[in-house]
Structure 1
Amino acid sequence: MAAGTSDWIGSVYLFIQSDKVSLPDLYMKQKTLIYDILWGAVSESTEGCRDSTEILKIHSCDHQLILCLKFCSQEVCQIFLKAYKEQIMHRHIQRKLEKSLFVEPCTISLKLKADAGELDAIIEKEEQCLKYISEMKPSFQKDDDIAEMEDHLKQLNLEDRLSSQNCSMSSLPHSLHSYGNSSVEGSTFYFQGENYVDRALTSVHLQMFAKLVGKSWKLVGRSLGKNCRALNDTAIENLAYDFERDGRYEQAYQLLRLFKDSEGKRATLQRLVQALEEHGLNSIAQDLLSLNENGL
């Protein structure tokens, strides 16, 4: 690798398209989640060199998302080009989309462009690619939306680390454990003076919640959304619109289904009970807990 490249700066456009889903539509509905997926794939493809790589903008065009990437190191750009050429980046994006969005197996197609044109045709000529990328100096700063999502994700990651630390403090009495983000299936929590064993939500929980919650489903969704990236305000409003004709039962059911799909084993009864309790819906929480006692 070349030496003396500490002042090296360049940028490139990465075009991303899926054969199964519309990435622009997904990005409009769940911006932070899709950004996290794409940024994670870029970071993995540059071997975690986050300080030397940035996403400055994300554009939508037809069925594609276009990332404007900035590199502050020639070495990191070389790692990126190698991952792109060997389709490592393709696989990173594909795997993260399937895992985070529970979409069916999909094929990701990528194109790499600079001001000089498409780089795919010369991707084997590393020096020429680096030359074109270094000549395309970014003429704008990072979008405010991108910066805001980065700050939000950093805060969530910090909260996750703190929660993991709290969960590891098993020698503390239950009364000293926090009630919320540290919810882990199999742990215990208190509700109205009684101790309950936490567990993952089941289809029976989803059905009972949808039957009982009525018009309060959005309030509960926003409470769950404090610690669930998939349940942002836009996603909740999209559920309200998409299932308006099906009624509140289906809207509420789809809310919890999205929560369960996005959070996996972390979509536990404790988190749902906490969200219900925030809005005084204790009777619904008690009914859900009675299912737990009956072993359902």
Structure 2
Amino acid sequence: MYGNTTEGEPVDKTVDRGPWAGCAVMFLQSLCPSVNLLSLYKDQQEGKFIVFKVIKLTLTDSAGGLGGYEILKVHDADPLLGVEVKFVDVAACQQFLKSYSSGALHQSLSQHACRLFALPQELTVETQLKASTHILDRCLNDLDLCLQQIHQSQPERLRDEEIDFLEQLLQSKALCPAPQLTTSMQEESAVPNNCFRFQNRVFEDRMLSTADVQSFSNGVGRQWKNVGRALGKSCRALKGPAIDNLAYEYEREGLYEQAYQLLNRFTQAEGSAAKLSRLVKALEDCKLTNLAENILDIQPQE
């Protein structure tokens, strides 16, 4: 049960007797000199959407799902980026606080940023959490008090129109089952330019991330040469003796390192064209669909 308020009224009674709501602002600042979250969010093109997607995915992870909260505004708190969040479910707020205090939120934020910005290593982000004038980072050892202060900080605004737009854009780009169409030609034309189809599902295409490379290197085993030759059909750097040279050069380091260096050579040569779809296609060609499913995080059907 929750602790008492300063007036002596138990917080749990407030929670149980009616709709619960509260507001918190999370401030973010990247410690990586090449990634300025505030500047990226001010970018009206791709930067704003990617930063918002990182925030949305992180909150979904930390609050235990899509429900129970909504982003009201993302604003300039130079040099910080402020994210104002309204909680409408006490359980979601509790889960968020637990994730924040344990470091799970920071890890999720770093991983999503690394993947979506195609960074060579995880991004370190400094955060501060406030409810009204209360800095919650100072009392994270008392999550009941943090919950109480968030509840006392009632939202004073409706959701910003810009957030409405970004939410709609995110939904339109979200991974979703392919539409039921009558011909394969129609199915292909239904896939957006920035997506690709795998097992009748549409996935967002993107540059290979560190996590993709690690998953591939862990799972491909001795088949890495075959995958390399499949990639070599459209990558000049992997043609001719390149695969055998990699095998010889990294033979002592083992299969993981050979596979890792294969994709490293691919990404260095292809740059922004080293897309996830090309690796998935190469894995399909080599009958390694299980590995492709693992990289795409497709859960096995029961």
TM-score bracket, normalised by the shorter chain, equals 0.5 to 0.7
**Partner amino acid for 1:105?**
E
Question: Is the 8 Å Cα contact of residues 29 and 126 (structure 2) preserved in structure 1?
Answer: yes
| Structure-1 separation of matches of 2:130 and 2:36 | 21
* 2:75 matches 1:59: yes
Question: Is the 8 Å Cα contact of residues 196 and 277 (structure 2) preserved in structure 1?
Answer: no
Please say which of residues 79-88 and 3-12 is displaced more in the overlay. Answer: 3-12
- Picking from 72, 96, 104, the partner of 2:112 is 96
Q: 1:266 to 1:200 in 2, by over 3 A?
A: farther
Aligned residue in 1 for 2:150? 133
Q: How does 1:166-185 map to 2 (within 5 A)?
A: 174-175=184-185, 177-181=187-191, 183-184=196-197
Shift of 1:123: 1.0
Cα deviation code 1:61-105 (max 9, x no counterpart):
223211001000112111111000001100010000001101233
Aligned residue in 1 for 2:26? 14
Q: How does 1:41-190 map to 2 (within 5 A)?
A: 41-48=58-65, 50-103=66-119, 104-157=121-174, 160-163=175-178, 174-175=184-185, 177-181=187-191, 183-184=196-197
Over aligned residues, Cα RMSD in angstroms?
A: 3.3
TM-score, with length taken from structure 2: 0.57
Cα deviation code 1:104-132 (max 9, x no counterpart):
33211111111232111111112211121
**Partner amino acid for 1:133?**
I
| Structure-1 separation of matches of 2:279 and 2:150 | 43
Question: Is the 8 Å Cα contact of residues 15 and 112 (structure 1) preserved in structure 2?
Answer: yes
| Structure-1 separation of matches of 2:232 and 2:148 | 52
Aligned residue in 1 for 2:40? 26
Question: Is the 8 Å Cα contact of residues 128 and 137 (structure 2) preserved in structure 1?
Answer: yes
Shift of 1:152: 1.5
| Structure-1 separation of matches of 2:145 and 2:136 | 9
- Picking from 267, 277, 289, the partner of 1:265 is 277
Q: 1:145 to 1:202 in 2, by over 3 A?
A: farther
| Structure-2 separation of matches of 1:51 and 1:200 | 45
| Structure-1 separation of matches of 2:158 and 2:21 | 14
Shift of 1:147: 0.5
SS in structure 1 at match of 2:189: coil
Shift of 1:201: 10
For structure 2, list consecutive stretches of 5 or more residues without a partner in the other structure: 2-11, 201-229, 237-269, 282-302
Specify which structure has the bigger relative contact order, considering alpha-carbon pairs within 8 angstroms and separated by 6 or more residues.
1
**Structure 1 residue ranges, 4+ long, deviating more than 3 angstroms after superposition:** 172-178, 182-187, 198-204, 266-269
Question: Is the 8 Å Cα contact of residues 44 and 92 (structure 1) preserved in structure 2?
Answer: yes
| Structure-2 separation of matches of 1:184 and 1:199 | 18
Shift of 1:203: 6.1
- Report percent identity of matched pairs: 22
**Partner amino acid for 2:146?**
C
**Partner amino acid for 1:178?**
E
Cα deviation code 1:158-182 (max 9, x no counterpart):
xx4243x66xx9xx76455432517
| Structure-2 separation of matches of 1:200 and 1:12 | 50
**Partner amino acid for 1:127?**
D
Question: Is the 8 Å Cα contact of residues 13 and 66 (structure 1) preserved in structure 2?
Answer: yes
| Structure-1 separation of matches of 2:36 and 2:233 | 29
Aligned residue in 2 for 1:214? none
Q: 1:268 to 1:90 in 2, by over 3 A?
A: closer
Q: 1:87 to 1:186 in 2, by over 3 A?
A: closer
| Structure-2 separation of matches of 1:57 and 1:106 | 23
Question: Is the 8 Å Cα contact of residues 14 and 66 (structure 1) preserved in structure 2?
Answer: yes
